[in-house]
Structure formats: C-alpha cells, structure tokens
Structure 1
C-alpha cells in the first residue's frame, strides 16, 4: 500500500462522468491538483483551454500525485467554444452572479442533472475559470446553468482544484450512492451477562484486596457506578477477555522494566557472578543461556544503571557507542562499547569479597582480550554523574 490512502491493489471505479474544462489555467500546480481531485472521484476527461505556461507541464505532473492517467489524455483547445462544442449540457462554476438570467444551482443539484443527462446519452461539460478572475461574461453565457457553492460571501473565491473537488465529490457520491471504501472490522459477539458478571465479580474481588471500595457506606454506590461504566461500553466477548487479562496482570504484579526493577544492585551483581561461574568451561551451545540472563538484567536495571544509561544515550559524546547488559564472551559487563573496546563496571557499596574477586577476574578476562575496564562507584554516579561522565570521556580519549 502506497501513500496515506491509495491502495493500488484495489481496482478503481470506472464511471462515465462529466468533462472538466479548465479555461486558461495559470499555474501548472493547479492543473495537477485538479487532476488529482478528479482521480479521487473517478473523473477522467480533462480539457484545457490555452494553459498559460504551455503543455505538457512538469509542475502539473508533480502536483498530480499519481493522477498521470488523466494528464496523459488531456485535450487542448484554443477557445472555449471549441472545448464545449460537443456538450449537450454545460455548467459554469463561478462565485459571482454575472447578472445573467439563467438557473443557479448548488453542486448537489448539478450532480443530479449531470447523472440524468449522461444516462440519456448526453455529454456534460463543467467550466472552471482562471485563478485570477474566473470566467468572463461571454464564457458564462455559453452555459446552461451556473453552479455556485454555499461559502462565506465575504470570502467566496475557491482554489481551482478545490472547486473541481467539490463538484466531483457530489457527482461521485450520487453515482455510488454514498458507498464508503471500507467499514469497521467485524467485532466479536457481544458479551453475555454471564461473562459480564464473571468479570465484575473478579474485579470486585481484586478491588477488595486493596481496600478500594471504601468507606463502607459508599461501597454499593461505587459498585453501581463501576457496573454502569462497563455496561455503557457494550463490550464484546473479546473485550471481556482483554479486560480480565488486564485485571489479573495488575493483581499478580507482573513486572516489566519498572522503576527500581525486580533485582536490587547486589542481587544483580550476584547474578553476574553466577553467570560467570556457569560460563567456566561452558560449551558454545550454552551461550543461549547467557544471552537469556543478559536480557533479564536489561529488563531489571538498578537506579544507578538507569541514570547512567540515560546519560549515555542522550549525551552526544557517547550516544550510540554503548550497549547495556550485553554479553562479551561468557561475561556480561554493565556497559560495553565495542567501538572503543571499553567496558564499564558499576561497584555497589559494601559488596562482598566473593563479588569483588569475581569482578577482578572478569576485568582480567576482558583486558586480556583488548578491552579497557572503567570502574564506577554507584555512589559517585548517584552523587556526581557529570564528573563520572567527564572521567569516562577522558578514558575514551586515552583509549584512542
């Protein structure tokens, strides 16, 4: 599907419609936009009388936005009389009365007459005037009817393409009986009262657990209001399944990347130590486990990790250069830059000797493979992040 509304996989509607006649149009862009409006409403016959900038016109082609099939079959004429010679019914669009005694009709009435004339085998033409001053009196005199639009009389002038669009819309709506190109997808069946009651009972049970329905004397009123909210929705069976899942997810406390995460700093560090122990002598087939646990760590950042990661992704000095909780071999540094071959390790306060030893072993492993390891204390990140970022920048420059 291309564009914001054109689906080229769908067949177009082929209708025999009126001829659009542009009299001495001045701008190629307006011709192209008029052709685009014609394409929207299945109008295909375009005649042009003495276009100011000649023909073909590259500006018209650009503005047509895909209505090339209309521009490719444009008919050119030197005079209006020649352009309307075969028309059995002719309309002149104008915002001015021209002081001529002939019927004046709105676009929807014109559409009815157009349809009747075409069904009877006639040819209908619609004149549109110049951008600067519209149609002249003698050109309007050629028409059987004047078409004008219900617009603000103090600002009645329309753009050429807008005028074509309004006429095309009324004619196409009449010809297709106002059929819309698509409708709302079918909904699932309406939820039964049994389903509604089961959902509501479950909702009330969970609300009681958190003491939402209080004070006691307002409980019944609150329940009635809640029930009416869902009754007004006229939910489907699928709606009930979704709402039930939402309530249960909240009740069971399923966690995503929420603030503070599931693991605290020491737990996350211990998990990395376990990962390293798991990796000792591990075969390549076990690397999937390390990647899976790395994803767990990414989903559960500590406050310090979150602060530093936000800085690394927004500060222009580091943006795009670091990854978080990404395996390097069997190890998972807190942050790593493969571009600079730099790893950042966060040191939590009061960490145990086992964890410190594991960090030292991991650092030795990384340095042996050409990585520089920069240690940052959690307290320093939370206390003076700007200084730690400056220190990191210096480390990257030294690395170069």
Structure 2
C-alpha cells in the first residue's frame, strides 16, 4: 500500500525494542525496519547477523526507513542485547514446553504499554528465519508471544512477524486512530430538492418512454425513488445529478444517437418519410421495417405522445393498442390487433405527399379488414377526452 506523504510529521512515541537474533538475510532486516517505521518503532538491535553489518541489501529493502537502519545497534550475544531491558518477550510458533505466560500480540502490547508507561523498558525477540529461537533464548524472556495462525502452516516471514507485533503495539498506543477520514460532505439534500430532482428525472424518462410497459410504471417509479432516497445524497450530489440529467436531455443529437426530436422536428421527419416513399423503398426485411418503426416511436409528435399516454394508461384502452408497429409493410400511428382498428393522426397543413401516403396505407389496411379512423392532432390537443369517447364508441361497434 503506497502513499507516504513526506510533508507530514511522523508520530514519536516510546515503544519496545525490536531484537533480531542471528538474522540470515539482509533483505529481511531491511523489511523488518520498514515494518517498524510503519508503526513508529525506532530502536532495532541485531545479535550476530550472519552476513555482518552494515548490509547494503538491508539498506535497499528498508525502502526509506533510514532513520532506523542508520541507528541499528549490534551485539555479539543475546544477554548483551537485553541487559538494559526490564521486560522481554520471545516470539515463537512452537511451545518450547516452558512454564511462562503465553499471550497473543494484543495482550503482549498491553503489557508492554504498562511497562513503558511506568518508566521501564521492553523488548521483543525474533529468531532466525530458518529455525527461530532456541530453547535457551526463549528461556531468557519473561513472556512468550505466539500468533493465532493456521497450525498447519504457522511459519511467518521475519518481517511479517515484526509487522504484526508492531501493528498491535501502534494500534494500542494511538487508540486505533486512522490517519484520515472521509471529507466532510455538504448538507443533506432536503425533501423538496429530492422531489424536484425526481420530477425532472421522470419527465425526461417519459420523453424517451423508458417507463414502459404502462402496467409496470408505478413499480418502476417506486424502485427508482428508493434508489435515490437510499443514497441520502447531499445538496451537491443533487446539483450534480440534475446537471447529468439535463446534459443528457439537452445534449441529444437526434435519433441516430438515441435521442428524441422535438414535436416540430418529429412532424418534419414523418413528412420526409412519406414524401420520399421511404417505407416502400426499404429492403424486403422485417428488420429494416422494425428499425424505422423504432425511429418513429423514439421521436413522437406532441399529439402522438398525448394520445399514447391516454391509450396506454386509460382503463378503457390499456393493453389494446400498439404504437408505430408494422402491419405488413405499413406503419400506422396506432393499431389494435384485437379490434382490427388503426388510428391515423392528421397534422395541420399536410403536404400532398403525406396525404397520398396515408391514403395508400388506409386502402391497404381496409383491404385486409382493418377499420381506419383519422384523428386530427389539433383535436387531440384541444379536447383529448372527446376523441377518447369517440374511439370507445368505435370499439364498441365491433363487439
């Protein structure tokens, strides 16, 4: 875990001495020093290191713990290394059958803290990489430390053993204080802000007809609301979410990028398709026709959107109509296969090409026993309910 900030001052606390008995590899000495530095232990003693001292491999492996490596104390024997200490702990994975207290790292850290707080000195012995501490060396300690590890694979790397003990010491000495915390957040968003955001989100989702099918709309809204309310967003979060929604909505570049045209542009799109004979010239494949139908659905006029909203939600019509769905090689505005009824919306000031295209579509549908009714877009916008009543009467005639 990298991330040392060299601009910050280190923590200085009186701690136990770390004593490595006959360490074999310079790299392990260096990594042990690094582990000590991580947890504010500064005094390292070596007893008869195999490769002598100083050791270039240890300096490299210390990774910046020079303040420890440069002040290492060297001893020929263990008794000399512990002579000035009042309380000595021996780390081992084996019992050694010696009648003295055995404890884990956490319990040992508590005893060390008490000893040091009372003005005494404490030290921790770590043995050779290959064989650990001898019985005689363990006998020179007051306490035994052993780690709760897998008994079938109990051997730890020397630096790992030092790190575990240093961590427990530091955690106790600093009361487990973390070096940083989550930055202070802005105030939690108010219910009013949440509702304003949600209304805006739903409005844009309705524009692209995300909340379909109609019978699942309410469930989808509840799920969406729960997503955002569980987050407990801040005021800044809501501002950001508002910005995202509006950037997506205002940044649409037309159907080629999955966006939605406004009503006037959608009307011009329909006129262009009719005048160019686009449907008649499509390749003879259902995929091409479905793609064009999808394009029209994504870009409804205001009248189409209003009428579809009613047909898909009003109990009189719900589930009975489809919008811009291919029937043969034609795409009526709305069609009910159940009632064999097609609805054509008539816009204002339509061109001759649009009128001709609709007439051809009507003739084709009627030749296949579909009834076709035309509804003026202006009537939908002026009195939608009157048009719905008329449609209800048409449906009743077929029953």
Deviation at 1:136, TM superposition (A): 0.3
How far apart are residue 210 of structure 1 and its match?
1.2
Q: In 2, distance between residues paired with 1:253 and 1:8?
A: 45
TM-score of the superposition, structure 2-length normalised? 0.63
Does residue 166 of structure 1 match 2:164? yes
How far apart in 2 are the matches of 1:47 and 1:72? 11
Q: CA deviation at 1:188?
A: 1.0
| Structural mapping, 1:117-128, within 5 Å | 117-128=115-126
Which of 10, 21, 37 is matched with 1:12 structurally? 10
Structure 1 residues 259 and 195 mapped into 2: Cα distance closer, same or farther (>3 Å)? closer
- Where does 1:70-85 land on structure 2 (aligned, <5 Å)? 70-85=68-83
**Runs ≥4 residues deviating over 2 A:** none
* 1:183 and 2:181 correspond: yes
Q: Which residue of structure 2 aligns with residue 156 of structure 1?
A: 154
User: What secondary structure does 2:176 align onto?
Assistant: coil
In structure 1, distance between residues paired with 2:163 and 2:252: 53
Shift of 1:250: 1.0
CA distance in 2, matches of 1:4, 1:147: 29
Give distance in 2, aligned partners of 1:18 and 1:215.
69
CA deviation profile, 1:74-104 (whole Å, cap 9, x unmatched): 1000000100011110000000000111110
What 5-or-longer segments of structure 1 have no aligned partner? 261-400
- 5 Å-filtered alignment, 1:2-151, equals 4-151=2-149
Q: Aligned to 1:247, what secondary structure does the other structure show?
A: helix
Aligned partner of 1:211 in structure 2 is 209
Q: Aligned partners of 1:159, 1:216: CA distance in 2, in Å? A: 64
Shift of 1:259: 8.2
Deviation string 1:276-329 (CA, Å, 9 cap, x unpaired) is xxxxxxxxxxxxxxxxxxxxxxxxxxxxxxxxxxxxxxxxxxxxxxxxxxxxxx
Cα distance in 1 for residues equivalent to 2:86 and 2:213 = 80
Secondary structure of the residue aligned to 1:90 is: strand
Secondary structure in 2 aligned to 1:171? helix
SS in 1 for 2:210: coil
| Match of residue 286 from structure 2 | none
Q: What is the alpha-carbon distance in structure 2 between the residues aligned to residue 6 and residue 45 of structure 1? A: 21
Q: Distance in 2 between matches of 1:6 and 1:215?
A: 54
- Partner of 2:106: helix, strand, or coil? helix
1:63/1:259 Cα in 2 relative to 1: closer, same or farther (>3 Å)? Answer: farther
Partner secondary structure for residue 34 of structure 2: helix
Structure ID, larger Rg: 2
Distance in 2 (CA, whole Å) between partners of 1:21 and 1:83 is 8
What secondary structure, in the 3-state scheme, does the structure 2 residue paired with 1:48 have?
A: strand
Cα root mean square deviation, aligned: 1.5
SS in 2 for 1:125: strand
- CA distance in structure 2 between the partners assigned to 1:170 and 1:69 by the alignment: 21
Between the aligned partners of 1:259 and 1:48, the Cα distance in structure 2 is: 69
In the alignment, is residue 230 of structure 1 matched against residue 228 of structure 2? yes
Q: How does 1:195-344 map to 2 (within 5 A)?
A: 195-253=193-251
Q: CA deviation digits over 1:243-289, x for unaligned, max 9?
A: 1111111111257xx989xxxxxxxxxxxxxxxxxxxxxxxxxxxxx
**1:67, 1:134 → 2: CA distance?**
24
